[in-house]
Amino acid sequence: MKKRIAVVEDDKSIRRGLVDALTFAGYDVIEAADGKEGMRVAVRVGYDMLLLDLVLPGASGMEILAAVRTSRPTVPVIVLTAKGDEIDRVKGLTLGADDYVVKPFSVKELLARIEAVLRRSPERGTDLKRVTFAGGTADLDRREIKFTNGKTCELSEREADILRYVAGNAGRAISRTELLTRVWRIDPEHMETRTIDMHIARLREKLKDDPSDPKIIMTVHGKGYMFAAPKK
């Protein structure tokens, strides 16, 4: 699955250059041209990284960054700042930005920064191929569960994607909204979160995870679902 990068930048030429460079580098890109649209994209749309200009009409980059850190605390953010705006860079990092790039910047430098931040992001793990759980192993590429007793069970593509995501973030409670934005990649307003519950129920059934007392994909009341962290 391609990594998706959200670009929030009001300068049309810079935004166009970013979108073209990222697309050529193999990323899926969504864009916003002002603070209002940038806020909507940043907090409601699914993506793997946010490139955020700090000076925007409508809502400032700082406001957007603060909202992202409240609603999606582990999504990586790189802020784009003008040369000499050291105060803004420091404030951005203080608010939780993972890195910053100073304009004008080279495409090579930007791509290197993006790759470095994605490598150390807590939300990485979506490239998992196998998941081991109590009672068996799931081969996510083949979408097949193999139990220790020799029996097998097939997973749907969506079930495999959910399992890949929750297992890649084992030990962390994941909200239904996050699953919709990160796995379905849609605005949560366009689908009921009940859809998530039904998919989790079917996945638990296939994993033979007792729904009355789940041990593999646990329910965290008020927060969402959590894949059991492996014992050390």
Q: CATH for 4-120, among 2.40.110.10, 3.30.1330.40, 3.40.50.2300, 3.40.50.620?
A: 3.40.50.2300
CA distance linking residue 90 with residue 8, whole number of Å: 19
Residue 123 CA: distances (Å) to CA of 80, 97, 135, 209: 22, 15, 26, 24
pLDDT on residue 199: 94
Phi/psi at 156 (5° precision): -75, 165
Domain residue spans of the chain: 4-120, 130-227
Sign of CA dihedral 116, 143, 162, 230: negative
Q: Which residue has the tokens 């994209």?
A: 41
CA distance linking residue 89 with residue 197, whole number of Å: 41
pTM: 0.59
pLDDT of 7 > 50? The answer is yes
pLDDT digits (tens, 9 = 90+) for 37-75: 999 999 888 888 999 999 899 999 999 999 988 877 778
Of residues 94 and 143, the one with the higher pLDDT is 143
CA distance linking residue 51 with residue 107, whole number of Å: 13
User: Among candidates 122, 123, 120, 139, which has minimal Cα distance to 131?
Assistant: 139
Q: Which residue has the tokens 């992202």?
A: 68
The answer to whether 7 and 32 are in contact (CB under 8 A) is yes
CA distance linking residue 153 with residue 134, whole number of Å: 15
Residue 122 pLDDT grade (very low, low, confident, very high; cuts 50, 70, 90): low
Instruction: At 24, list the tokens.
Output: 């050529």
What number is the average pLDDT over the span 85-91?
71
The answer to whether 200 and 162 are in contact (CB under 8 A) is yes
Q: Any idea which of 130-134, 178-182, 187-191, 214-218 has the lowest mean pLDDT?
A: 187-191
CA distance linking residue 109 with residue 133, whole number of Å: 40
The 8-class DSSP code of residue 183 comes to I
Phi/psi at 188 (5° precision): -55, -25
Question: 171-203 burial, b for 16+ CB within 10 Å, e for fewer?
Answer: ebbbbbbbbbbbbbeeebeeeeeeebeebbeeb
CATH number of 130-227: 1.10.10.10
pLDDT of 125 > 50? The answer is no
CA distance linking residue 55 with residue 82, whole number of Å: 9
pLDDT digits (tens, 9 = 90+) for 147-182: 999 999 999 989 999 999 898 888 888 888 888 877
